[in-house]
Amino acid sequence: MTTIPRSNLFYQSRLSRPMLDRAEGIYLYDTSGKRYLDGSSGAMVSNIGHSNANVLAAMKAQMDKATFGYRLHFQNEPAETLARMTAERMPEGLDRVFFVSGGSEAVESTIKLARQYALAIDEGSRWKVISRYPSYHGGTLGAVALTGYDPLTRPFSPMMREMPKVPAPLCYLDRDNLSDHDRGLKYAEMLRDEIIAQGPETVLAFIMEPVGGASTGALVAPDSYYGRIREICDEFGILLIYDEVMTGAGRTGAFVASEHWGVVPDIVALSKGFAAGYAPLGAMVAQGAIVEKVLDAGGFMHGFTYAGNPLACAAGCAVLEEMDRLGLVDNASVMGDRLKAELGALMARYPFIGDVRGKGLLLAFELVSDRETMTPLPKALNAYNRLVDLAYERGLIIYSRRTRGGLEGDHFLVCPPLIITEDQIGEIIVTLIDCLDTMAAEMDLPVNR
Ligand code: PMP
């Protein structure tokens, strides 16, 4: 007998989530009328909140004119304007913009541009892109080869050329006697050692998430790490790629996170908050000198059908305008500090919160069975699913992952839209306390009341 599926759709697993009806501001509503606070902006996407009237009006106006014009047949105003607006917001020199439809396409584009640049300057021996472990760079096979997250990469290992990895600076797990500064340098030197081991003439680029996303749970390295990584790349003529798919568009309290450390990467990948969920959109932004060399050498052999879609770009322009009008980059910083302090305060009540980390409104907490040793909770407790489910029941959405390479540890990203207010932060914390109390009772975890 054929089993009739509940849904013809599938993603990672069978679907069991409520049906979305509508969304407004920081709230989503299911078809039963239940309200959910979007505590993770979806997957760190909805930076300006849902149903922003000005963005919808700009999209409608563009829809009435043209929704598609193939990039090789026509240029279009929204794409030109968005490229200019993006370049104006990026660090000096990052002024050439290539549009795509999402984060994985943006990452693929960065490595293909890097490779064609090496060929254009007669350095064809360079092809290895070193990345970090753990990390997440996307779902397409080129991005999977860069990703350091075993459950997502292992099935495909025969089908791709896995790229070399260096340890991500999971400094909060280190029990050495080094200062933060020296620990940052220690991890940066691991890149230098790996470049030498690989043969510097074979290394094309190094790619990193400046603040970790799903794989590491808002991991921030010590300040010393960032500048030293730039120096090491320069020493060997290796391109530095920042994957700012999650951190970009204001999420960490700067338009791109690289600004926090005064580092100028060679190429940057953007998506998620860039069009904030109003359209599938991403961008690669590169230094003009790199792009010019590739164009002079015969052109960039790469592109996607929907690139520079006028409707998506009109949405992108309106999102950036709204970010300016509402001061959202600053709000991410102010509200991020507040939310981080409130999450930090929960550590007194819950000894099983081992770490609270992040920057701006890219924040996470990690659960452990022992804060001293940072031993993860037993996997069998399935804490990362349970806490998310408890939050769902209470109308709060948070985002969880197994951390430390996908094999152990539970972390939870708390990343609400950048429009969040103090009162709404209070709402998140009250709900989280209810969830953590319930989970502690179920799993027999200690609570200091
Ligand atoms: N890079 C990073 C840092 C990401 O967080 C993601 C998405 N989580 C991607 C790349 C891939 O983006 P997408 O899912 O839009 O293809």
Residue listed under structure tokens 């993770």 = 40
Q: Find the 105 Cα to ligand 1 centroid distance in Å.
A: 9
**Per-residue model confidence (pLDDT) at position 4:** 57
Residue 418 has pLDDT above 80, yes or no: yes
Q: Find the 155 Cα to ligand 1 centroid distance in Å.
A: 19
- Reported as a pLDDT band with limits 50, 70 and 90, residue 122 is very high
**Per-residue model confidence (pLDDT) at position 5:** 62
Mutate to test the pocket of ligand 1, among 101, 152, 246, 415 (most ligand atoms within 8 A of CB): 246
Q: Answer yes or no: are the C-beta atoms of 248 and 285 closer than 8 Å.
A: no
The pLDDT tens digits of the residues spanning 321-342 come to 999 999 999 999 999 999 999 9
Residue 233 has pLDDT above 90, yes or no: yes
Q: Find the 236 Cα to ligand 1 centroid distance in Å.
A: 28
Dmax (CA) for the chain in angstroms is: 68
The average confidence (pLDDT) of the chain is 95
User: Which one has a higher pLDDT value, 172 or 83?
Assistant: 83
Q: Find the 103 Cα to ligand 1 centroid distance in Å.
A: 4
pLDDT (mean) for 50-54? 98
CA 55 remoteness from chain centre: 23
pLDDT (mean) for 285-298? 98
pTM score, two decimals? 0.97
**Per-residue model confidence (pLDDT) at position 405:** 62
Q: Whose CA is nearest to atom 13 of ligand 1?
A: 103
Provide, rounded to the nearest whole percent, the portion of the chain with pLDDT above 70: 98
- Cα separation, 51 vs 106, whole angstroms: 25
**Ligand 1 nearest atom to the CA of residue 139, by list position:** 16
Report the SS3 class of residue 93. Answer: coil
Q: Beta partners for 284?
A: 98, 269
The pLDDT tens digits of the residues spanning 176-222 come to 899 999 999 999 999 999 999 999 999 999 999 999 998 899 999 99
Residue 343 has pLDDT above 70, yes or no: yes
Mutate to test the pocket of ligand 1, among 41, 47, 132, 245 (most ligand atoms within 8 A of CB): 245
Q: Please state the domain extents for the chain.
A: 20-51+327-443, 55-326
Q: Find the 10 Cα to ligand 1 centroid distance in Å.
A: 19
Residue listed under structure tokens 């790996």 = 194
Domain formed by 20-51+327-443, architecture? Alpha-Beta Complex (3.90)
User: Which one has a higher pLDDT value, 145 or 401?
Assistant: 145
**Ligand 1 nearest atom to the CA of residue 103, by list position:** 12
Non-local (6+) Cβ contacts of 217 within 8 A are 357, 364, 365, 366, 401, 403, 411, 412, 413
User: Which one has a higher pLDDT value, 387 or 17?
Assistant: 387
Mutate to test the pocket of ligand 1, among 107, 147, 403 (most ligand atoms within 8 A of CB): 107
Non-local (6+) Cβ contacts of 380 within 8 A are none
Ligand 1: residues whose CB is within 6 Å?
43, 102-104, 107, 136-139, 209, 213-214, 243, 245-246, 271
**Per-residue model confidence (pLDDT) at position 407:** 61
**Per-residue model confidence (pLDDT) at position 2:** 53
Mutate to test the pocket of ligand 1, among 104, 284, 411 (most ligand atoms within 8 A of CB): 104
**Per-residue model confidence (pLDDT) at position 406:** 60
Q: Find the 245 Cα to ligand 1 centroid distance in Å.
A: 6
Q: Find the 143 Cα to ligand 1 centroid distance in Å.
A: 9
CATH code for the domain defined by 55-326: 3.40.640.10
